[in-house]
Amino acid sequence: MGAIVRTATRRVTHSAVLICGAFVVAIAFLAPSSSRSEPVAVRHSEGLAHGFVILQTPEGATLADGDLIQNSSGTRVTTRLILRFKDGSRHEETTVYTQRTRFRLVSNHVVQSGPAFKTPKESTIDVRRGQVTVRYTDDDGKEAVSQERPELPADLANGMTMVLLKNLSPTTPKTTVSMLAFTPKPQLVQLEISPAGEEPFSIAGAWRKAIHYVVKVHVPGLTGVVASVFGKIPPDSHIWILSGEAPAFVAAETSLFSGGPQWRIDLASPKWPSAPSASAKKDSKDVQAAKGPERASAARAPRKKPRSR
């Protein structure tokens, strides 16, 4: 899912940069440089799916309900994540990718609106055209549009994080992929994904284990160094995946926008209104049907006249 990154770039005052300028220059050469990684190999093909999710605060308060909808045609997959907030806000992300021998992004489109988001925006990544478009509301309340043609790496993972995690081997110590973060303007960052062991969870009282993955955001070059110095590197995201012959997403703790809080995404199951179940209704109908003939025969039976004395 592309929404797991909080970007690390913020405005830094000119004076602050000058104060620690020597320190930044000194350690800039020690910062990891941007490296090109191969796209993640396809181990499990994606297909038709429709799941329900719930977005909560770390304390367990419900913020939004949502749908995760997925369709596939040949090697092309389209996924949609829709989150409907209680305050009327909305997050909608549509991602298209191919799954031949490796996962490759085709396009990613994200719309965030409403009071839950600090900066309402709409972003579009078109890999074939090599174009990135962002529409957002600036600090003065005016709509701004940014169009760029950055070099998009082959391992770009916007909107695909959860899919990629299902295809990683838990024995691989670290996997690095690229992602465009929006601040709101696009900034290329790297996601460093590492397994952190297994953790138990239960379903209907039966215990299972999920692999806990930690996702770190690395901003390469001088920008990353400045962000690190001023404490602007976002906190780690955490995602839990059920492994096995059919890996599945279990939960995630992440942020949906730059500078936003950490929220938790869990799978949700339907809850029915407090009414008799289908089987209970059927049993009730069967009882009524059984009593029906008895009542009918009782109604047709002639009444005995009282004996005269």
Confidence (pLDDT) at 142: 87
Q: Cα(244)–Cα(248) distance, rounded to whole angstroms?
A: 9
Asked if the structure places residue 287 within a domain, the reply is: no
Distance CA 170, CA 164 (A): 12
Helices (H), 7-151: 14-19, 21-28
Output the CA angle 136-163-148, nearest 5 degrees. 30
| Number of independent structural domains in the chain | 1
Rounded mean pLDDT for each run of 10 residues along the chain, 309 residues in total = 40 35 31 60 96 96 97 97 98 98 98 93 96 90 91 96 95 95 88 96 95 92 44 82 95 91 94 71 58 53 50
The answer to whether the CB of 172 falls within 8 A of the CB of 193 is no
Distance, in Å, from the CA atom of 213 to the CA atom of 259, rounded to the nearest integer, reads 22
Report yes or no on 245 lying in a domain.
yes
User: Considering the domain boundaries, does residue 304 fall inside one?
Assistant: no
Q: What is the pTM of this model?
A: 0.75
Nearest Cα to Cα of residue 195 among 222, 215, 224: 215
Within a domain: 213: yes
Residues contacting residue 96 through CB under 8 Å, at least 6 positions apart: 76, 77, 78, 105, 106, 107, 108
Domain assignment present for 302 = no
Task: Yes or no: say if 32 and 250 are a contact pair by the CB < 8 Å rule.
Answer: no
What is the CB neighbour count within 10 angstroms for residue 259? Answer: 13
Residue 280 lies in a domain: no
| pLDDT value, residue 24 | 31
At residue 221, the pLDDT reads: 59
The alpha carbon torsion through 247, 249, 251, 255 (nearest 10 deg) reads 130
Please identify which residue in the block is written with the tokens 């988001």: 117
Residue 250's alpha-carbon distances to 42, 51, 224, in angstroms, are: 20, 11, 31
The token pair at 75 is: 């090697």
- Cα–Cα dist 1/3, whole Å: 6
The residue behind tokens 């690190």 is 228
- What pLDDT sits at residue 14? 36
Q: Which residues contact 81 (CB under 8 A, 6 or more apart)?
A: 1, 3, 53, 66, 67, 68, 91, 92, 93, 159
Amino acid 275: pLDDT: 64
pLDDT attached to residue 259 = 82
Residue 309: inside a domain = no
In a domain, 135, yes or no: yes
Host domain of residue 172: 2-267
Cite the DSSP H helix spans in 143-243: 161-165, 221-229
Phi-psi bin for 106: left (phi > 0), alpha (psi -120 to 50), beta?
Answer: alpha
Residue type, 120: P
